């Protein structure tokens, strides 16, 4: 049987759905290239990772809680509650490390942050009602999930200082005027992927006030909060959320390891008019029954054991990783300065984020798959075209550099190749020279 | 913030989404009751399950394939391809054991069969176009997934002999006449949950002919095929599918263990008009990027290692389990005969499936949550009301008995309690007595 593409769901025509596959395909064809493309974990964060020990640690915990060793081991092999089995440990860590004070039943453990996004969007959006506002540029995962569910997405510009709150207010007004009010906003306030935006404390407060005034929910993605330099951490929106406007999504892919496929969502919004205890998290767990049933308890056990071995603290768990990623980011920006700064390449500029995995670079000419192919084949260096992150044409001349899984020598060599590529293959004379954006204030 | 239920997605009002949670909740309140409710694995199938050994076995396999031990171990901890990392092993097993001959790129490894269902429905159905036909009664997971995606579902009656093909043909005609043709049919041809239906070889052929003639796809769920008595196995629809009309879904929850959350889908339908190699499986992998990104490679490794330790054979992997479930099913039916047969309870009858986990029982009076509460509290026995499995009222007087995770003594004691409950709490005089359905021919 042959299926016509037009007979399949519309989302499959959207380049967002193919973007991850496209990058993997290019990388597989150029295994020798230095790749600034993926936001993959640094290999050093995986080398000593003993999953068996962590499982045993979690089983000990279950035994301490009153189960027999046999019951504890079986718990990891059977079906389990849709909402998860490590909820208390995760909830306590979020309270201790981030000041998020949610009841235990407000948390659902998910198959990575991606499933959490899908569950939240599905529960919150009725068919053809309301729109999702997203930071522009935006993580492809949330836009892709919205496409799967036929949810309309409206972009709101984001700079290094975070989402443009005036523009957001205007979007709220115009959307309501069209009869499709903003139901929710997706935002990553700490070093967003790919924009590297970071919202100040004042901006966070203003966003929450706006959410209350304009009656929308904030879907907060906290994937990169742990990469903040020590001493300049800011509280996540959820910790400031007295009105329960924030649904908080996190992942263990970066602070632990991606192969566990474990994330979580806190959704403490009350559902229904009674004084009952039903929370949005209960609805998410019901939706999850029809998506993945439950998150592998074996994987949850590894993550639970890792957290317990680090004193139940996300900060302790992620400390070494944060240092590696800080080192790499500093190295990347410094090396870009050395090879491309000082007006050597007028018209090429980049940002200088204080955290996260990503640097954004503006070129004087369009950045597309064909240019990536040239960069890979002739210069041995890979990166990500940024147009897939934008809902408009703003990103057409931009590329994203990820430094997470490289070592300083590889970053240096990669930037050397990148500089050669940019020198030969782009036309820096066409726009006014600006060597680099000014540094962003730490909030 | 308080959310009104009517502001959330319609699926959350559907009892199907709450059905699993409801049963878990009742079971948690009556931990001492004997439960015929869940289709959970028998504990004996989990006792010797050494996940660490299986991971090591899979790593050895990766090393044999040319990776270094370090690379192999990292593969289990990192992100990975959306379509999976054990595809070749699974594909070979399906070929060897079931005669399914699909190219390796036609397989996607999923987070259980549930995610596979969601991916297939999302890819195949455009918004508000076409309907999904399902066996009635039907597994709640497929109806729930359809509800999440606003896909209309049409029931087609199913007896122990399988789906009513004349009724299906009529549904195809009437749906097309309404401008909403049947796009796909969901069916479990071997011992469906909950109907225990089994289609004969002739019926399977007739279904495939009908699919070709009426131009719909068949979504085949093979969860219980392994429970067929030795010697009377039938080929899955996919093995007979010369026209590529069948999308085949399987799970390792029953033949291996549920906690892995690993399933798979074979979708070898060509997409597009070119002679290119793009298959429906490629589209499913793209959708999966936006649902769970990839299935935990650590969990895939456990399953891959289990398969390898059993000679790469699903039949070998499931042999002991099949024997346990056969023993239990025979025990349940025999015990029902002893306690309830011979006209002792006129108006109460049940089926006698040759495989699967479930027996269906008809009562002379309605079966609902209130009756289950009485059964649990006063008689110490749990079961599943069947109305949640039906899209019409056919199941209002029915309950499902699962025997998968009990031992023969528990089954005997459970049936004794059930008989006492039925004697006291139902009114068997209201309908004509039929002690039991005639046995179903093995096809």
Shortest CA distance to A132 belongs to which of A112, A152, A111, A117? A152
pLDDT: is B298 or A430 the higher one? B298
A275 touches chain B (CB under 8 A): no
Distances (CA, A) of B203 to B173, B197, B212: 19, 12, 14
Predicted pLDDT at B275: 63
Distance from CA of B280 to the nearest CA of A (A): 8
> Is the predicted pLDDT of residue B407 greater than 90, yes or no?
yes
pLDDT: is B438 or B186 the higher one? B186
Using CB atoms, which residue from A46, A126, A297 is nearest to B74? A46
Distance from CA of B439 to the nearest CA of A (A): 32
Distances (CA, A) of B15 to A131, B11, B232, B250: 27, 9, 37, 25
CATH tag for A5-45+319-430 (out of 3.90.1150.10, 2.40.110.10, 3.30.70.120, 2.40.50.140)? 3.90.1150.10
Distance from CA of A344 to the nearest CA of B (A): 37
Distances (CA, A) of B198 to A158, B172, B331: 57, 22, 20
pLDDT: is B176 or B232 the higher one? B176
Nearest CA in chain A to B112: A292
Using CB atoms, which residue from B8, B46, B253 is nearest to A123? B8
Q: What is the pLDDT along chain A (443 residues), one digit of tens a residue?
A: 899 999 999 999 998 888 877 787 888 899 999 999 988 899 999 988 999 999 999 999 999 999 999 999 999 999 999 999 999 999 999 999 999 999 989 999 999 999 999 999 999 999 999 999 999 999 999 999 999 999 999 999 998 899 999 999 999 999 999 999 999 999 999 999 999 999 999 999 999 999 999 999 999 999 999 999 988 899 999 999 999 999 999 999 999 999 999 999 999 999 996 666 799 999 999 999 999 999 999 999 999 999 999 999 999 999 999 999 999 999 999 999 999 986 667 789 999 999 999 999 999 999 999 999 999 999 999 999 999 999 999 899 999 999 999 999 999 999 999 999 998 888 655 443 344 444 443 33
Q: Which residues from B are below 8 Å from A269, CB to CB?
A: 1-3
Quickly count: other Cβ atoms within 10 Å of residue A43's Cβ: 15
CATH class of B51-316: alpha beta
Residues carrying CATH 3.90.1150.10, chain B: 10-45+321-430
Predicted pLDDT at A38: 86
Q: What are phi and psi of A318, to 5 degrees?
A: -100, 0
- Mutating which of A1, A120, A405 best tests the B interface, going by the most B Cβ atoms within 10 A? A1
3-class DSSP string for B56-67: HHHHHHHHHCCC
Q: Which residues from B are below 8 Å from A272, CB to CB?
A: 2-5
pLDDT: is B277 or B77 the higher one? B77
Q: Which residues from A are below 8 Å from B7, CB to CB?
A: 126
Q: Which residues from A are below 8 Å from B290, CB to CB?
A: 11, 17, 114, 118, 141, 144-145, 147-148
Predicted pLDDT at A15: 86
Predicted pLDDT at B426: 80
B404 touches chain A (CB under 8 A): no
Nearest CA in chain B to A211: B1
Using CB atoms, which residue from A9, A289, A294 is nearest to B17? A289
The Cα–Cα gap between A160 and B7 comes to 34
pLDDT in tens, B189-204: 999 999 999 999 999 9
Percent pLDDT > 90 in chain B is: 84
Distance from CA of A269 to the nearest CA of B (A): 6
- Pairwise CB contact (< 8 Å): A4 & B122: no
Q: What is the mean pLDDT of chain B?
A: 92
Range in B250-259, B272-281, B334-343 the model is least confident about = B272-281
- Pairwise CB contact (< 8 Å): A38 & B79: yes
Listed by number, the residues of chain B in 113-132 with a beta carbon closer than 8 Å to a beta carbon of chain A are 114-115, 118, 122-127
Task: Name the pTM for this structure.
Answer: 0.95
Q: What SS3 state is found at B327?
A: helix
CATH tag for B10-45+321-430 (out of 1.25.40.10, 3.30.70.270, 3.30.70.240, 3.90.1150.10)? 3.90.1150.10
The CA radius of gyration of chain A, in Å to the nearest whole number, is 22
Residues carrying CATH 3.90.1150.10, chain A: 5-45+319-430
Q: Per-residue pLDDT averaged across B140-145, rounded?
A: 97
Listed by number, the residues of chain B in 40-99 with a beta carbon closer than 8 Å to a beta carbon of chain A are 40-41, 43, 46-47, 49, 51-52, 55, 70, 74, 76-82
Predicted pLDDT at A440: 41
Q: Which residues from B are below 8 Å from A114, CB to CB?
A: 289-293
The Cα–Cα gap between B249 and B356 comes to 16
Q: Which residues from A are below 8 Å from B243, CB to CB?
A: 1
Q: How many cross-chain Cβ pairs, A to B, lie less than 8 Å apart?
A: 256
Q: Which residues, 6 or more positions from A243, have their beta carbon under 8 angstroms from its beta carbon?
A: A208, A211, A212, B1
Tokens representing residue B370 in the block: 């209130």
B111 touches chain A (CB under 8 A): yes
- Pairwise CB contact (< 8 Å): B296 & A291: no
Predicted pLDDT at B259: 97
Q: Which residues from A are below 8 Å from B57, CB to CB?
A: none
Element (H, E) at B45: helix B44-47
> Is the predicted pLDDT of residue B429 greater than 60, yes or no?
no
Predicted pLDDT at B435: 40
A292 touches chain B (CB under 8 A): yes
Q: What is the ipTM of this complex?
A: 0.95
Q: Which residues, 6 or more positions from A60, have their beta carbon under 8 angstroms from its beta carbon?
A: none
- Pairwise CB contact (< 8 Å): B293 & A261: yes
- Mutating which of A3, A258, A303 best tests the B interface, going by the most B Cβ atoms within 10 A? A3
> Is the predicted pLDDT of residue B272 greater than 60, yes or no?
yes
Listed by number, the residues of chain A in 221-260 with a beta carbon closer than 8 Å to a beta carbon of chain B are 243-245, 253, 257-260
Predicted pLDDT at A345: 76
- Pairwise CB contact (< 8 Å): B291 & A148: yes
Using CB atoms, which residue from B114, B290, B296 is nearest to A261? B296
The Cα–Cα gap between B443 and B96 comes to 22
Nearest CA in chain B to A49: B77
Predicted pLDDT at B433: 38
Q: Which residues from A are below 8 Å from B8, CB to CB?
A: 123-124, 126, 271, 283
Q: Which residues from B are below 8 Å from A148, CB to CB?
A: 122, 287, 290-291
Distances (CA, A) of B390 to A203, B130, B140: 51, 21, 9
A147 touches chain B (CB under 8 A): yes
Residues carrying CATH 3.40.640.10, chain B: 51-316
pLDDT in tens, A348-402: 999 999 999 999 999 999 999 999 999 999 999 999 999 999 999 989 999 999 9
Nearest CA in chain B to A150: B127
3-class DSSP string for A164-216: CHHHHHHHHHHHHHCCCCEEEEEECCECCCCCCCECCHHHHHHHHHHHHHHCC
- Pairwise CB contact (< 8 Å): A259 & B286: no
Kindly tell me the burial class for residue B56, based on how many C-beta atoms sit within 10 Å of its own C-beta (0-12, 13-18, 19 or more): middle
Predicted pLDDT at A274: 67
- Pairwise CB contact (< 8 Å): B46 & A1: no
Predicted pLDDT at B391: 93
Tokens representing residue A266 in the block: 């806190």
- Pairwise CB contact (< 8 Å): B9 & A150: no
A11 touches chain B (CB under 8 A): yes
């Amino acid at each position: 049987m042959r299926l016509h593409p037009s007979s399949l769901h519309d989302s499959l025509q959207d380049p967002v759905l193919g973007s991850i596959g496209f990058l993997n395909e290019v990388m597989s064809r150029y295994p020798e290239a230095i790749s600034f493309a993926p936001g993959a974990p640094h290999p050093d964060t995986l080398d000593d990772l003993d999953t068996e020990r962590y499982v045993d640690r979690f089983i000990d915990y279950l035994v301490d809680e009153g189960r027999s060793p046999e019951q504890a081991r079986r718990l990891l092999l059977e079906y389990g509650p849709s909402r998860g089995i490590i909820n208390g440990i995760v909830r306590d860590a979020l309270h201790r490390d981030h000041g998020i004070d949610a009841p235990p039943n407000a948390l659902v453990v998910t198959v990575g942050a991606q499933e959490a996004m899908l569950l939240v969007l599905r529960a919150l959006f009725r068919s053809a009602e309301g729109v999702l506002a997203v930071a522009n540029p935006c993580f492809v995962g949330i836009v892709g999930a919205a496409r799967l569910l036929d949810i309309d997405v409206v972009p709101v510009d984001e700079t290094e200082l975070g989402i443009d709150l005036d523009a957001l207010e205007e979007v709220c007004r115009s959307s309501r005027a069209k009869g499709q009010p903003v139901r929710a906003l997706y935002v990553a306030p700490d070093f967003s992927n790919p924009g590297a935006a970071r919202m100040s404390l004042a901006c966070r407060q203003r966003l929450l006030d706006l959410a209350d005034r304009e009656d929308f929910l904030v879907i907060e993605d906290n994937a990169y909060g742990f990469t903040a330099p020590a001493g300049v951490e800011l509280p996540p929106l959820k910790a400031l959320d007295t009105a329960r406007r924030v649904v908080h999504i996190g992942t263990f892919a970066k602070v632990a390891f991606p192969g566990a496929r474990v994330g979580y969502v806190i959704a403490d919004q009350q559902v229904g008019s009674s004084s009952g205890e039903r929370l949005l998290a209960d609805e998410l767990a019901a939706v999850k029954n029809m998506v993945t049933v439950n998150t592998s308890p074996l994987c949850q056990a590894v993550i639970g054991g890792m957290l317990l071995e680090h004193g139940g603290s996300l900060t302790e768990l992620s400390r070494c990783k944060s240092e590696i990623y800080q080192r790499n980011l500093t190295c990347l920006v410094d090396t870009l300065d050395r090879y491309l700064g000082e007006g050597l390449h007028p018209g090429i500029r980049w940002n200088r984020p204080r955290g996260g995995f990503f640097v954004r670079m503006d070129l004087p000419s369009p950045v597309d798959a064909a240019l990536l192919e040239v960069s890979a084949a002739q210069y041995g260096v890979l990166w990500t075209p940024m147009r897939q992150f934008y809902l408009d044409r703003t990103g057409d001349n931009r590329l994203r550099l990820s430094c997470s899984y490289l070592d300083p020598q590889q970053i240096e060599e990669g930037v050397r190749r990148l500089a050669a590529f940019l020198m030969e293959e782009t036309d820096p004379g066409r726009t006014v020279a600006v060597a680099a954006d000014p540094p962003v204030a730490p909030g």
